[in-house]
Amino acid sequence: MKIKDPKTFFIRTYGCQMNELESEVMVGQLKRRGLKRVLDEELADLLVFNTCSIRDLAERKVMGKLGQLGRSKMRNKLIGVTGCMAMAKKETLFKKLPHVDFVIGTNNLSELNNVLDDVVASGKQQIRTEGEYDALDYTIAEREHKIKGYVSIIRGCDKYCTYCVVPYTRGQEVSRPHEEIEREVRDLVQKGYKEVTLLGQNVNSYGKDRPETGVLFHDLLYRLDKIEGLERVRFLTSHPIDISVQLMEAVRDLRTVCEFVHFPLQAGSNRILKKMHRIYTKEQYIEKVALLRSIAPNAKLGTDIIVGFCSETDAEFEETYQLFDEIGFSVAFIFAYSPRKGTPAMRWQDDVPEEVKQQRLHRLLELYEKKAQEERLELVNTPMEVLVEGKNKNGQLKGTTRCWKNVILEGDDSLIGTLQMVDISGFNHSTLIGTVKKPLIV
C-alpha cells in the first residue's frame, strides 16, 4: 500500500548545476505545500530523484537506485523521477520500475504539486513530459548556499552536437526576460548573496531568441554589474563559436565578472570535431583562445573533453593531447565517450574499445594533473581574492578565488560571507591553503 498523504520528502539530485537549481525550486514547491524536508530517505513519505542523462554512468546509477527501492520495504513510499532521464525515458520508466508513481520532464517541473495531487487522488501513475518551456518560479527556490547562488538565464540548446541528449531532453533555447533575471539577482543580493553563477547550456546564445529586447549575453553582464552589493558573477557554459569579443571585453572590464571562461574543446582533431558537429575547427578554437588571452590576459580557461568518440584513432587522440598541453586549461572535465540513446551518434559504431578509451582517459588525466600541479606551484606566494563561503568538514574556512580555485584558510566564522585578500602559502591536493592578508569587504 502506498502512502496516501505525504508529510515529509527526500530529494536527491544527479548531474549538472541546472539540475541543482531545479531541485532547489522543487524543494520550495514542496515546502509551500506543507511538506517537511528530511535528509534521510528512510524517514521520507515522498522520494524525488532529479536525474541526469548526459552519461551512461549517471543513468545507470539512478536506475540501480530505483531498482533497489523496488525490492526494499521503501517501495510503499511515493516515488517520483524528474529531470533529463525522465524526459529521455518517459513511460518506459514505468515498465521497468512499476513502483515509480510519477515522471516529470524538465519542461513540466512547475506542475510538481498538481502531479502529486493527481497521484494521491487517483492512486495511479502520472506522467508529464510534453511541455515546451516551463516558466519556473525561481523566487521560491530553497537554496543550499547562502553566499552564492545559481541563476538560470537560458534553457535548452540549439547546437545538436551528435553525442549529446540535451537538445532532446531540454528542448530549444529559450532566454528568460532580462528584467526577471535582474530582479532575481537584486533579490539575492538583498538576502546577502555575494556571488551568482549564470546558468545555461550555452549562455552565449542568451537573448538571440529575443532580438526585440536588444539584450545579448554581454549586455546582461553590464546590467548585472551595476547592482550594488553584488560582488561576483560567473557563467557556465560557453560554446566556443558564440564567444564574442564583447564578452571577452566584459571579462576584462567588469568589476563583478570573474576571470574564468569555461570553453569546451571536446576534441583536438578536425575530423572528430566535425563528426561531433561542434561547428568549429581546431584552428578557430585556437584563434578564439588567443583572442581571449590578448583581450583578457588574466582569464583562466576551463574545458570539457571527450576521449574515444566513435572512430577516434590514436593519431586523432594525440591531437587532442597536444592541444590540451599547448593551451593549458586551469579546470578540465575529461570523460570517455558513452553512447546516448536518441542522439545521432547512436547510429555509429561505438568502436573504440573500452580499454583504449580508458588508456586515453588515463593519459589525459595524468597530463591534466601535471599541468594543475604546475599552476598550483605558480600560485604559491600570490595574493588572491577569496570569497569565504563557509566551513569544510574539518571546521576550516573555505572559499573560492575569482579564477575558481578552492582555498582553505584559518579564521573565525565572522569571515564567512566576506571577500578577503589572501596570501597563498601552499596546497593540499587540489585545494590551495591561504592566510588572510586584508579584508576587502565585510
Sites of contact with ligand SF4 (CB under 6 A): 157, 159-161, 164, 166-167, 201-202, 239
> Chain-centre distance of CA 418, in angstroms?
24
Query: What's the closest the beta carbon of residue 306 comes to ligand SF4, in angstroms?
Result: 9
Going from the C-alpha of 62 to that of each of 45, 234, 291, 435, the distances in angstroms are 19, 29, 42, 41
Query: What's the closest the beta carbon of residue 88 comes to ligand SF4, in angstroms?
Result: 13
Residue 162 is given by DSSP the state T
The set of cell numbers assigned to 38 is: 528530511
Query: What's the closest the beta carbon of residue 24 comes to ligand SF4, in angstroms?
Result: 21
Query: What's the closest the beta carbon of residue 51 comes to ligand SF4, in angstroms?
Result: 16
Q: How far apart are CA 165 and CA 175, in angstroms?
A: 19
Query: What's the closest the beta carbon of residue 122 comes to ligand SF4, in angstroms?
Result: 36
Q: Which is nearer to ligand SF4, 44 or 52 (CB)?
A: 52
First CA to last CA across the chain, in angstroms?
Answer: 54
The set of cell numbers assigned to 399 is: 572559499
Q: Which is nearer to ligand SF4, 262 or 360 (CB)?
A: 262
Q: Report the SS3 class of residue 183.
A: helix
Q: Which is nearer to ligand SF4, 237 or 420 (CB)?
A: 237
Query: What's the closest the beta carbon of residue 414 comes to ligand SF4, in angstroms?
Result: 41
Q: Which residue has the cell 590514436?
A: 314
Query: What's the closest the beta carbon of residue 160 comes to ligand SF4, in angstroms?
Result: 6
Closest C-alpha among 263, 363, 368, 365 to residue 318:
363
> Chain-centre distance of CA 176, in angstroms?
18
- Rounded to the nearest 5 degrees, what angle is found at the Cα of 314, between the Cα atoms of 326 and 345? 100
Going from the C-alpha of 42 to that of each of 8, 47, 77, 103, 312, the distances in angstroms are 10, 9, 9, 21, 46
- Please name the residues in contact with 110: beta carbons below 8 A apart, sequence gap of 6 or more: 29, 134, 135, 136, 137
Q: Which is nearer to ligand SF4, 157 or 289 (CB)?
A: 157
H-only helix segments in 201-311: 217-225, 245-253, 270-275, 282-295
Q: How far apart are CA 412 and CA 395, in angstroms?
A: 10
Query: What's the closest the beta carbon of residue 188 comes to ligand SF4, in angstroms?
Result: 25
Q: Count how many Cα atoms sit within 13 Å of the Cα of residue 172 in the half-sphere of its side chain.
A: 3
Q: Which is nearer to ligand SF4, 9 or 280 (CB)?
A: 280
Closest C-alpha among 305, 337, 310 to residue 321:
305
Q: Which is nearer to ligand SF4, 241 or 286 (CB)?
A: 241
Q: Which is nearer to ligand SF4, 51 or 256 (CB)?
A: 51
Query: What's the closest the beta carbon of residue 164 comes to ligand SF4, in angstroms?
Result: 3
Q: How far apart are CA 439 and CA 228, in angstroms?
A: 18
Q: Which is nearer to ligand SF4, 30 or 157 (CB)?
A: 157
Query: What's the closest the beta carbon of residue 202 comes to ligand SF4, in angstroms?
Result: 5
Q: Which is nearer to ligand SF4, 6 or 264 (CB)?
A: 264
Q: Which is nearer to ligand SF4, 127 or 161 (CB)?
A: 161
